[in-house]
Structures are given as C-alpha cells and as structure tokens.
Structure 1
Amino acid sequence: MPGKIKSSVVAALCCAVLGAGAAGCGGDALENWDPLAAAPLSGVEKIQVAGRSVNVSCSGDPDKGGPVVVLMHGGGDGLDKLVALQKTLSERNRVCSYDRLGAGASDPPDGPQSFAGTGKILTGVLDRVAGDAPVVLAGHSLGGLIAARYAPDHRDRVKGLVLMDATPPTMAADIAKAIPESATGPAAELRAQNLAMFRGENPEKLVMADGPVRSAGDIPVEVIQHGKPYLAALPEYGPRLERAWTAGQRAWLALSGDARLSTAEDSGHHIYVDQPGVVVQAVERVTEQAARQA
C-alpha cells in the first residue's frame, strides 16, 4: 500500500508496544471493603480497589487448590478478549482476569499511571481473587510487561510467569533506535505515535519507562514469542524492529534461573488467538511446577 502502512500492522505494533505499568491511584489496601464479598468470585463482577471500580472475571473450581492463574490483557484490549483462553484453562485451574484502569469496564485512571500504581491495583485484585494462594501471572503484550515488572517485588505471591509476546523491557529505546529521528513518511508517523504512547498518551494513561530486567528468583517462567514476522511489514525499518523484538524476548529470560523461550511458529502478536494450544500448555506446565514448589 504505497505511502502508508497497513492499518492492521500499525494496530498490532501499537498494541505490542503499549506497554508498562499503571495507576496513580493511591492506597495500599482495598477501600470500601465488604466482608460479605469475601466469598469466591464467580463470573464477572466489579470490585473496589483503592477507591476505583475494577472489572474482574473468575472461573474454575475455587476449592481445587493450587495456584490461581491470573490473565493480563494487552494494550487496547480487555478481559473480554481472554474469554476463550480463560474458559479452557479453567477446566483444570482456578483462573481470573481483570480490566486495568482505563481499559474495558473498569474505571478510568485519575491521572497518569506508573508501574508502581499498576502494582497497587494488581495487588488489590490478587488480594480479592487469590487471597493467600500462590499466583501464576500470564500476560499478553502490555500485560506481560506489567507482570514481569511486578513479579520481582512480589516473590512471596507470584510463583510463575507466562509471557505471551510481552512488550520488551527497553521498547521505547528500541523504537527510537530502529526508526531514526530522520525517518519520514509512515515510519516517522509510527515512531512519533509509539513514543507518545510511552509518555502516557494512551487509554490507560500509562507512562512507560524502560528499565533493566530484575530477577524474580527461580520461579518457572515461559516466554513465548511470535513466529510470523508481522513487524517486518513496515517499509525499510521493519526488519530492525523484528530483531529488536526478538532480542527483547530473550532479555526476559533474566527474570529467572528457570526460564525458557519458545516460538509460536504460526502466530502473529496475539498468540493466544492464533495458537491457543501453545499458551494453554505453557500455562499448565508453569502452574503444575509452581504447585509442586509451593
């Protein structure tokens, strides 16, 4: 398509890099806590976290025991995109998902969000849906980035990670390097759009800071990257973006001494849609291993 990039490519890249942390909502504990609401959640409900309404969905036997799997959607998506994956996983596990502030049916944020703020919201959600049970976080794209940033500071609770084409830890710098400031046309537009998103110009108002990968200990971690090089569709600079993305997936292996990288060969960015079986198997492996180590 002369003079422009296919909209699907732009959308995919925007979702891919829309990536990290959220909140700006103060408070470490749940507000307006209702003791009667402590019964296990079933289906879709809204809970109060730090004074904000957060949309949550849970399924699977709450009495099954073992780790609770928490699915984390990508940028521009919501928990509704994860319904099929959640249904499949809940046949063997307790599984929950939630809309972050500014996404889906949850409240919008009060202002700019950060990793620390997003962590507070996630902690409030985990308090409600998992209690004292160990947790496996399975995040796609932005959700994977948030999960990977959260886990090192919450080793007492997060006992496993599955990252589905997670936004790399240095994606802002990667984009700025792969598409130089001197670029023109569609590439320049894409560069400007994505760097703006990292500054917080996105629906979740997430201000995304690059940073090193910190260790979460020796928890089981599975990193799954896409196999179809959709980023290469960007004229001239696409191959650089693909190489940067691949390097970013390898970088996540530093999260744990027990991390592995695999490729969903027939998948684009939305691996849980294109090859759901790959994701289901990875989540079940990590959950079973986390249960044995608990």
Structure 2
Amino acid sequence: MKPRAQTHRILPIIALLAMASLTACGSGTSSAPPPASQAPTTPTTLRMINNNGHRLAFHVTPGRRPTIVLDAGGGEDSSEWKDIVPKLHAATGSEIITYDRAGMGASDEVPGPWNVQHAVDDLETGLKTLGATSNIILVSHSQAGEIATYFARANPQQLSGAVLVDASLPPLYTNQEISRLVAATKPQLDAAKQNKSSKANRQLIALAESYVPMHRAYHKVTWPTSVPATVIVSEKTPFDGSPTDAQRWRDAATAFAAAGPNRTLITAKGSSHEIPKDRPALILQEIEKLASHT
C-alpha cells in the first residue's frame, strides 16, 4: 500500500481537485495484515474481468444478499477497505465486492482523459459478470460518489440503497468552485507533467484533462428518488485548510441530502476526509442499517 503522503499528493484532482496545500497530509500507514481476529471467515477470491480491452481486478467475498459493493476514493484502490471487509462480512453475512478502478491496484491502465461513463461501464460489466445485478448496496468514498451517481441514474432497479462516504456530489460543482479548484491545483499538475513515467502522475493528468467539462455536466446530474442514500460528511472535509471550500463541501452534502426522499445526512465528528480510516465503525453501522431493511 502506498504511503499516506502519496495518497494525499494525488487526492486533489482525483478526489475533486482539492489543494494539496490545503489538505493536511497524514502520517504513513502500516501495510501489515490485520490481526487474525479480523480475518474473514470466508476466503476472498480475485476475479480478473475484461472490459473493452482492459482487465479489472474484482475481489469477492461470497455471501447472501444484499450484495455490498465498496468503491474506493480517488488515489486509492480496493485495499482502502481491507479492514472493513471482514467485519462487514461477519456482521451481515452478505456478499462483499471490492474492486480496483482502471489504472489503480491490479487493474490495467487506460490511456486518455478519465471518463466517468467508462468507469461506470467498468463497474456495470464487473457486477454483471459476477452475477450481482439486483439488491445491491453501493458504498462509495470521495471520487467514487461520481461513479455512484451515474450508476444509480442508469441502474436504479439494481440498488437497494447507497452509503456515500464524504462523496463528491453534484451541488459542489458550480462554475465558481470548479475555477477555484483548477487554479489551486495548477502548480501540482504542472509538476506532474514533468514526470509522466510515474503511474500516479499519469492518473492525475488523465483526470485533469477532462475535469472541467465533466464536472460542469456532473453539476446537473440528479440522484434517482427511488434509491435511498445515507450521506456521511466528514467534519474536516478534503479542504481542512480552507474554511470557504470546506463549508461549500458540507453545504453540497446538505443540499444533496435535502433534495430527495429517503436521504439521511450524518456528520462524522472529528474525522478527516479519510472516514474509512478515521471512523470505520460509523460506516459499518450505516451499511448494516441499510442491509437490515433489504
């Protein structure tokens, strides 16, 4: 697992072009395996799935429905959920699926600008191949909130609900906020372009190339009213060093939660943007609530 500092280095554009200088870099995290007491009772299987000429790594822990799909934040791969998966499986008995988006973890890189519709297609293809096409709870952190929103729009009948974990949500992306984020991260992007041999830098550049038009379009996208959503917003947000942007992030979560029925807003008190690491028990609690009603 990459050092935490590198995660924060590429978080700004991947997770929504937040300024690296505004985001407090965390200390390194241990790559040691979880204690034996947390080991999954059912083995997790790696499935490599082909889609449009590239391979995607899906990790499946068998179980009953609902199927719980965990989608990592920007700059992260499926290992973001490694401590949560065994606990979630033990608590719910559900099938648990995590995966690496294209260019992350064990999945192939895809050349060209990042395209959210392609990311949605990768997820749709993977779940269809695995036979998970109904009674799904989608759990999405940060950038994955964008994939979740488009997935839900296209496949509302497949979802029993979603837990959006400090997710990138449409109300944030006014023209003014997009301009602020692009300007704030220009020095970081320029530096990345000087070293395209780095996989992380290539991913950063790909995301930046499509960022403005993609997020102008995303600002207009709505969540389907038929899909319940629990919105967990961090107290510190990705913009811990910028009160203006932090408030806009929290306001976007509030506006999203208020815009439709069956939506709940929860604040992760004291948490940074990395809620899966800071407040995993809160995420587990909210997933279990949804699972108990399906």
The residue aligned with 1:190 is: 185
Residue 81 (structure 1) aligns with: 80
SS at match of 1:121: helix
Give the secondary structure class of the aligned counterpart of 2:83.
helix
2:266 matched to 1:272? no
For residue 235 of structure 2, the aligned residue among 227, 231, 237 is 227
The whole-number CA distance in structure 2 between the counterparts of 1:276 and 1:134 is 23
For structure 2, list consecutive stretches of 5 or more residues without a partner in the other structure.
19-42, 193-200
Displacement of 1:137 in angstroms is 0.9
What are the superposed Cα offsets for residues 273-292 of structure 1, whole Å, 9 maximum, x if unpaired?
10101000111112222x1x
Q: CA deviation at 1:52?
A: 1.4
Please identify, of 206-215 and 145-154, the stretch whose mean Cα deviation from structure 2 is larger.
206-215
Measure the CA separation in 2 of the matches of 1:12 and 1:107. 20
Of 123-132 and 257-266, deviating more is 123-132
Q: Hey, what does 2:245 align to over in structure 1?
A: 241
> How far apart, CA to CA, are the structure 1 residues paired with 2:189 and 2:245?
13
Q: Which runs of 5+ in 1 are unaligned?
A: 1-5, 20-40, 182-187
Q: Secondary structure at the match of 1:67?
A: strand
Paired residue type of 2:287? V
Q: Which amino acid aligns with 2:175?
A: A
**1:145 to partner: Cα distance:** 2.1
What is the match of residue 212 of structure 1? 220
- CA 1:105–1:10 in 2, change beyond 3 Å: closer, same or farther? closer
Q: 1:212 to 1:253 in 2, by over 3 A?
A: farther
Partner in structure 2 of residue 58 of structure 1: 60
- What does residue 122 of structure 1 align with? 123
Give 2:110's aligned amino acid.
P
Q: Compared with structure 1, are the counterparts of its residues 45 and 268 closer, same or farther at alpha carbon in structure 2 (3 Å cutoff)?
A: same
Q: Could you report, residue by residue, the CA deviation over 1:151-186 in whole angstroms, capped at 9, with x for unpaired residues?
A: 01111212211110011324473544657x9xxxxx
SS of the counterpart of 1:113? Answer: coil
Q: Which position in structure 1 is the counterpart of 2:48? A: 46
**Deviation of 1:111 (Å):** 2.3
Instruction: Please tell me whether the aligned partners of residues 228 and 268 of structure 1 are also in contact (alpha carbons under 8 angstroms).
Output: yes
Moved >4 Å (runs of 4+): 6-15, 176-179, 191-197
| Distance (whole Å) between structure 1 residues aligned to residue 188 and residue 252 of structure 2 | 20
Q: What is the 5 A alignment of 1:162-173?
A: 162-169=163-170, 170-171=172-173, 173=175
8 A Cα contact 1:136 1:158, kept in partner: yes
Cα distance change, pair 255–113 in 1 and its aligned pair in 2 (3 A): farther
**3-state SS of 1:253 partner:** helix
Provide the residue aligned with 2:25 in structure 1.
Answer: none
C-alpha contact 1:176 1:191 (8 A) present in aligned 2? no
AA aligned to 2:246 is: E
CA spacing shift, 1:121–1:268, aligned 2, 3 Å: same
Q: What are the superposed Cα offsets for residues 204-246 of structure 1, whole Å, 9 maximum, x if unpaired?
A: 734341222413123220000111356242xxxx111111111
- Whole-angstrom CA distance in 2 between matches of 1:73 and 1:141: 8
Query: What are the within-5 Å matches in structure 2 for residues 14-163 of structure 1?
Result: 14-17=13-16, 42-61=44-63, 64=64, 66-91=65-90, 92=92, 93-163=94-164
Structure 2: distance between partners of 1:46 and 1:221 = 29
Match of 1:90, SS state, is helix
For the structure 1 residues 172 and 191, does the alpha-carbon distance in structure 2 shift closer, same or farther, using more than 3 Å as the test?
farther
Rate the CA distance shift 1:285–1:261 in 2: closer, same or farther, 3 A: same
| Structure with greater helix share of residues | 2
Instruction: Give the structure-1-normalised TM-score.
Output: 0.73
Give % identity. Answer: 24
Q: Specify the SS of the correspondent of 2:156.
A: coil
Tell me, in whole angstroms, the C-alpha distance in 1 between the residues paired with 2:238 and 2:132. 40
Alpha-carbon offset, residue 57 of structure 1: 0.7
- Over the residues paired in the alignment, what is the CA RMSD in angstroms? 3.1
Q: What letter is aligned with 1:212?
A: K
Q: Distance in 2 between matches of 1:174 and 1:282?
A: 33
CA distance in 1, matches of 2:146, 2:156: 16
Would the aligned equivalents of 1:216 and 1:255 in 2 still touch at CA under 8 Å?
Answer: no
Find the counterpart in structure 2 of residue 36 from structure 1. none
> Which segment is superposed worse, 166-175 or 238-247?
166-175
TM-score w.r.t. the length of structure 2 is 0.73
Amino acid at match of 1:55: A
Kindly indicate whether the alpha-carbon contact (under 8 Å) linking 2:117 and 2:150 is maintained by their aligned counterparts in 1.
Answer: no
Match of 1:31 in 2: none
